[in-house]
Amino acid sequence: MKQIFDIPLNRNNTWSTKWDLYKDKDIIPLWVADMDFKSPNIVEDAFKERIEHGGYGYTEIPPELNKEIINSYKKNNWLIQEDWIVWLPGLETVIHQIYNLIMDTQSVIVPRPIYPPFLNAAKHSNKKIIFHDLEKVDGRLVYNLEKLSEEAEENSWLMFINPHNPGGTVFSKDELEDLATIINKKNMYVLSDEIHSDFILNSDDQHLHIASCKDMADRVITINSLSKTFNIAGLNCAFSIIPNPAIRKQFQNVLKGQTPSPSIFGLIATLACLKGGEAWKNNLLEYLNKNKDFLLEELSPREDIEIIEPRGTYLLWFKVLNYHKANLQQHFENFGVGLSDGKDFGKPGWIRLNFGTNLELLTKAIPRIHKALDDLI
């Protein structure tokens, strides 16, 4: 099975957001966070079964799917209840909608760097936004808890990502508990994006849910999807876990009439992957670690970049030390590689590289990256 990740998946002429940006150009796309791997065969098999049936009408959430979600969280030591689960078409929409749930008297803490939709939602919101800059400690991006405690206002919301996108931090039990102490003390609430929770690259790490910390369940909306794990983002299927009944009802009211249900094929694929995707996922993680090690071996010796080694996700975040307000995305494109500009994450001068692709393609991209960096010296 491991060899399937070495087989190139031709994504040209498939309406691919990632590849069509550079259609008919000699630019290797390593930007938007979807992978260049064929989804597991169990997804195709499940689709064939429904296609043979031929019915694609309005669809309810199958009880079996909720049970599989509950079981998956039980394996990770969080016992959730079925009525806590609210199904969604995707996370980006919900990140924007959450600002409609937050009261005008509540401020919003947005860490930087952060996945761009969090910044876009903040920009178009009338809420008070407090930015908190994450700091590099022992090679990881983490919160400065002393500063956060000073910055946070009573009754505010924290936008939280674990594992962190783009930095790849997998927050430890102690870090989550220390964060939870501040949140409880300040009577705060949390939107926790855990979409990369299956991508734990270091065996010493474990993904833990901030909602499972002491006295935190009623303060957290957890959002997740299998779309990254099994490369099914185009199927529009995600879910939230909201233990607090009052917040859950408010959340459902905000979504009602504005946010559609997940697609039928998204539900089918999610169920299939929950039931039979474990072996494929484990092999994927092994392959991604190989890609990560290759990139670190190639790029770490350079003295003109500062790398944050990812412990989770399939994203490499690095600072270009010779950045002189150049358009970094355009600069790298000029040398034939498409990366994500850090300014979109709230950190100009940084770059995000998606290594969820074939090692052969990364091997082709590395000389281009070296030449682009050399040109900045």
pLDDT, position 40:
97
| Per-residue pLDDT reduced to its tens digit, 56-69 | 999 999 999 999 99
Looking from the CA of 7 toward its CB, the CA atoms found within 13 Å total 7
pLDDT, position 377:
80
| CATH code for the part of the protein at 2-41+278-374 | 3.90.1150.10
pLDDT, position 3:
78
pLDDT, position 2:
61
Task: Supply φ then ψ for residue 141, to 5 degrees.
Answer: -85, 120
**Element housing 308 (H / E):** strand 305-308
| pTM recorded for the entire structure | 0.97
Residue ranges in the chain modelled with pLDDT below 70: 1-2
Which alpha helices (H) appear in 204-314, and where do they start and end? 245-255, 264-276, 278-299
Provide the percentage of residues in the chain whose pLDDT is more than 70. Answer: 99
Provide the percentage of residues in the chain whose pLDDT is more than 90. Answer: 96
Per-domain residue ranges of the chain: 2-41+278-374, 55-275
| CATH code for the part of the protein at 55-275 | 3.40.640.10
Could you tell me whether strands 220-224 and 189-193 are parallel, antiparallel, or unpaired per DSSP bridges?
parallel
pLDDT, position 1:
54
Closest CA to 93 of 241, 243, 267, 261: 261
Instruction: State how far the Cα of 127 lies from the Cα of 217, in Å rounded to an integer.
Output: 24
pLDDT, position 326:
80
Mean pLDDT of all residues belonging to the chain: 96
pLDDT, position 205:
96
Q: Is 78 helix (H, G, I), strand (E, B) or coil?
A: coil
